A and B are shown apart, each in its own frame.
Chain A
């Protein structure tokens, strides 16, 4: 059932279009991430849901009720900010209880709810601490507790982890997802970090220049990008210009080297220019595993990335990366070696040029 809905929402700042014709239905309890580079309109869209920006056109509804022009204080939407935005003059407990006291809830109920929130965010012992006495991760948990305390219809998170270091970021994102699932709250999460979006979301909206480029599950977005932008933005992707050789058999050629794809190319003509995209992890050396596409290559470079070893190869005149899991007994080729690599038909994505 649709809980939050954005219909034909646009936002213009003078001549500049920040968001253009944005349409999205979010179900109750769904976790949706807006993913895109800086300036793509994701935060503006979030701020329109919060009420800090009024859409130039379009409509925003929650549970069918139009909130497009409502003041932020009238929307019952919780928001977690990148910079925490905790009130520095209040303790952790006072911060969490702020929204409830503003709503003039009974003091006993406020105290109970604050305790409940402190337990959820695991900060019972810090109830009387001030924000300046907390670490970044603790502050963001308080901000989350404060936003959830008012029992919002929708929880909005604006790059909440980007100010934290890597380890805390990973731990806290799991905590956020856990709390969201436990409370069954609808959440919209803005991030430019693809790993964050892939690991947290039920669905991802990839945005570019104010428009939605692709909407889908993390699995769909990563494995079946529909545009070159999504393919490049989400994960590392090899892509090269290619030509359709045999549309019926879905065969294309990169610099004359033929690849067979699982993508149906019947609607294309022989000689059509297309773009071929293959994830680095979908390549293997022929000696390890036989697949459909076996092509000659030359080893150009080898880079260790911790658990992954990234090998740069030349196929024809095009540069490709292949990833292989690192292990101490791995026999790696040498730079300059000639070898053969292979990938499945399903690994060969064909996109518009």
Chain B
């Protein structure tokens, strides 16, 4: 009887299937565009051109020099842009949070970062070609104003390792700003005051308290930046046209290319990428948890 009375008093019970209604589109989307392609990728990497099961594709990953070079190049570009973008983004985030710059500047930078961190692919490549390409606006300006031809008198080349890294930096540092600004906001004023009160200088506070507290966030963010650059394809392809054989371009060539067409090998290379990205994300997630525990 008591149970009946309780049921009558409470809100009407929601059918189990209704609880799942809101997330159904997401799961459908994930199944169609994440789970199924992933399964296809795994199966494809174990399949040869005749459709038979094989380990040859995976073995080739460690045997073919151009594949190892492609991974290594991608890792180097991703690491360079993660470190560069990370440092640059951290300094910017610091300036507009604890650095004491005017508040309107913070809003402007955060808005810019929100837009710039998503500005990648063909438009970004073309905007860099239009500014820093051989006949780009800035290249011409430097030549006309300072008399320096970037491409003839310096080592600069937009279509090289550093050129591509510079282009990636455009979306890397804003992403760092977006992640680090809340972490820097999480530094409590009382920590600094407590450190000062106990005799610490500003440098000692940063070295012994603030940076160690922020370190998981900084490293985690850099891992995210690494993953962000590692998975980039369209920007590099549009900018260099395949001159730089990063792993995503090599995968594209294997799956869609006319000359190097070997989808099985392409899938195996993509699986290698997935493993590297997964390791990155696990690292990011572990560091983020540690950071949240300290900054809450």
Contact = CB atoms under 8 A, between A and B. Distances in A.
B195 interface: yes
Q: Which of A73, A74, A150 has the most CB of B within 10 A?
A: A73
A150 B296 CA distance: 28
Q: Which of B188, B198, B212, B294 has the most CB of A within 10 A?
A: B198
B49 interface: no
A146 interface: yes
Contact of B194 (A74, A76, A85, A89): A85
What 5 A-B pairs are tightest by C-beta distance, nearest first? A99-B198, A85-B190, A88-B294, A85-B194, A72-B196
A304 to B, nearest CB: 31
Interface in A139-182: 143, 146-147, 150
Given A79-B193, A81-B193, A83-B188, A102 B294 contact: no
Contact of A146 (B198, B293, B295): B198
Contact of A87 (B194, B197, B295, B296): B194
Interface string B265-295: 0000000000000000000000000000111
A103 interface: yes
Contact of A81 (B190, B204, B293): B190
14 contacts: A72-B197, A74-B199, A81-B190, A83-B188, A87-B195, A87-B208, A87-B213, A89-B213, A102-B200, A102-B204, A102-B208, A103-B199, A132-B293, A132-B296
A99 B209 CA distance: 12
A150 B193 contact: no
Given A73-B196, A73-B199, A79-B193, A89 B204 contact: no
Contacts of B193: 50, 52, 72, 79, 81, 85
A83 B190 contact: yes
B201 interface: yes
A71 B202 CA distance: 11
Contacts of B296: 132
Nearest to B215: A89
A81 B189 CA distance: 11
A71 B200 contact: no
Given A73-B201, A85-B190, A89-B212, A98 B294 contact: no
Given A71-B196, A88-B294, 8 more contacts: A72-B193, A73-B198, A79-B193, A85-B194, A89-B212, A98-B195, A98-B208, A99-B198
Interface in A247-262: none
A50 B200 contact: no
Interface in A60-102: 71-74, 76-79, 81, 83-89, 98-99, 102
Contacts of A83: 188, 190
Interface string B166-208: 0000000000000000000000101101111111110010001
Given A72-B193, A88-B294, A88-B295, A99 B199 contact: yes
Contacts of B213: 87-89
A86 B294 CA distance: 10
Contacts of A50: 193, 197
A51 B200 CA distance: 13
Contacts of B197: 50-51, 72-73, 77-79, 147
Contacts of B294: 88-89, 132
Contacts of A81: 190, 193-194
Contacts of A98: 195, 198, 200, 208
Contacts of B295: 88
A132 B191 CA distance: 15
A87 B209 contact: yes
A259 to B, nearest CB: 50
Contacts of A85: 188, 190-191, 193-194
B198 A150 contact: yes
Interface string B114-153: 0000000000000000000000000000000000000000
Contacts of B209: 87, 89
Interface in A15-45: none
A342 B200 CA distance: 61
Nearest to B201: A73
Nearest to B190: A85
A350 to B, nearest CB: 45
Contacts of A77: 197
Contacts of A99: 198-200
Contacts of A102: 195, 198-200, 204, 208
A102 B194 CA distance: 12
Contacts of B198: 73, 78, 98-99, 102, 146-147, 150
